Amino acid sequence: MKEARHDRSGGAQADRRSRGVAPRTASPRRAGRRPRRAGRGRILRPHAASPLGAGSLEADHRVLIRRRTAILAVLMMAALASLLVRLVHLQLVRGAYLAGIAARQQLATIPLEPHRGRLLDRRGRPLAINVEATSIYAVPAAIPGHRAFAARLSPVLGVPEDDLLQRLKRGRYFAWLARKVRPEVVAAVEALHLGDQIGFRVEDLRAYPNGVLAAHVLGFVGIDNQGLAGVELRYDTLLRGRAGEAVAAHDGMGRVLVETQRIVEDPVDGSDLLLTIDQVIQHIAERELDAAVTRTQARAGVVAAMDIRTGEILALALRPVFDPAAAVRVAPELWTNRAISGVYEPGSTFKVILAAAALDSGLVDPQETFFDPGALQVAGRVIRNATGKKYGAQTMGDVIKHSSNVGSAQIATRLGRAVFHRYVRGFGFGAPTRVDLPGEIAGLVGTPAEWVPPRLQTIAFGQGISVTPLQLLAAVSAIGNRGMLPRPHVVRAVRDRAGRMTAVVGGPSGRRVVRPESAAAVLRMMVRAVEEGSGTLARIDGYRIAGKTGTAQKPAPQGGYDPDRYVASFVGIVPADAPQLAILVILDEPLGAYYGSEIAAPLFREVAAQTLWYLRIPPRTPLGQPRAP
């Protein structure tokens, strides 16, 4: 059996040699070891390597390796190229955007608010200034329990808990709790020792050192010092200035690290405005208006004073009034500047415009007489004099002196609708005066076609037409300004924070509405009305006063006129022999006496007399001596 196995083995090797395959030889390492068995009855023997085909296999192996290496290199190059493209995209295409995101994550942009410009009276006295106030904010991310936090602060800040909770939801790192609070509130909050949960910031608070003085002219601002009314709104861009910007790093809680702050752009403070308002004259007007409103129990009142040569408004007082420092806490109706945003029927003060139109048009001679029987029927309506008197034959000067409604209706009839309407519009009625205050309206004049009798005749004595107080003041100023209609304005100049004048805002010299001789003739008629007629209670010792009274019924809601509601007024020019000022006073719905000659003329006298003394305008006749006729 052993021989047989040997023969088979030898035969196998012989067979391998016959096929050109090298016989397998035992490895020297394995010499002496017995062959391994595989399975049952089989012995695995080592194969001898064949010398035939070895070079071919090695060549194929090298090609395979080179092929795999090339593929790997291509893949690596493609990966590197993709990475390079991505890097280029991130650096060049989206670099600025991503840098901005990173900066926002690391840096906080801090707006640097400029100081709002001041409002000064014509002599540089402050009317609106800035003071420092502390605002309180929270860092919501640093607050463990919002409701407990709100419960602690609510009674101190005077803000409902629910409102505080809503404010905490407005930001993760910053939320306003209370703006520009009183010092005692700040002290109370600090006493709670809330640490990093809250912070304090100093801001500018708009202050009005004279309280309600000139409130309707100055207006007021919002919580962010933005103008909301009056000059504060009209000139908001100039007053506000331009905000600056700083950047600073912040910590993980979003709190700004002040020591890292860097200014990017300096803020530019707002400009100061020099107003035409004179603080003293304004105080006189408001004090006397308060006294008159209290005395007559009027619902409202207006006093306005203007330089007839320049259109500068020296005083503009209205009642009721509001405190501009607390304007948001009063009814919005109180904000309305009724001198430009409210209309009224001017009554007999409008006869001045009628006289100017009649003389300047040449349709009425100053010496021509009109017969006044005390009543006049026009288109089915009876027109009567307010006093009930019959004045008989009277010139146009007598019509003004007696304030005759019948004589005025006759003159208007002579003029006709077209001519009278042209002069009314020429004096500025039915159009804004273009005063530099917001909210001005045009009034209600109508067209000539609408001035059918008896409206034409009633307009002659100021009923059936609606004007603003400032329109009437400007129109009467033209009589004292030799027929030139001035443009009212409340700002004289703009100054920078160093006090240097940067702009003059004054209005133009005006436009002509009547000839100088016509204006002079009407002015003389107004002097007679004060010295001899219905305006005697407006006289001032030592001065010649030109003026005209007015008493107008107010329209009734259901139509027609209310017999129990009146507007009493007086408009005058002082001094009449060298006109400088026009002053208009109005008392709306007084109780008891309601004639302009009784309650408005004395108010005019008090305001005018004190203003003349303050401006050092000397009297033309010695005090105590009778006036020349």
CB 274 within 8 A of CB 120: yes
Q: Specify whether the CB–CB gap between 167 and 139 falls below 8 A.
A: no
Within 10 angstroms of residue 303's Cβ, the number of other Cβ atoms is: 29
Strand partners, 202: 134
Kindly tell me the number of DSSP H helices and DSSP E strands found in the chain. Answer: 19, 23
408 carries an active-site annotation: no
Token pair of 42 as six digits: 């089989």
Cβ-defined contacts of 448-452 (< 8 Å, 24+): 448/417, 448/418, 448/421, 449/417, 451/417, 451/420, 451/421, 452/379, 452/417
* Nearest residue to 330 (alpha-carbon basis) of 232, 183, 228: 228
Beta-carbon contacts of 180 under 8 Å, excluding residues fewer than 6 positions away, are: 133, 134, 135, 203, 205, 223
CA dihedral 277, 281, 286, 292 (to 10 degrees): -140
Reading the block at residue 629, the tokens are 């006729």
Task: Give the relative orientation of helices 351-361 and 516-531 as an angle to the nearest 10 degrees.
Answer: 140
Question: Which of 513, 532, 535 lies closest to 359, judged by CA?
Answer: 513
Strand partners, 550: 569
Catalytic residue (choose from 271, 348, 408, 569): 348
As a dihedral over the C-alpha atoms of residue 378, residue 384, residue 386, residue 392, rounded to 10 degrees, the angle is 120
CA–CA dist 407, 120 (Å, integer): 47
Positions annotated as catalytic residues are 348
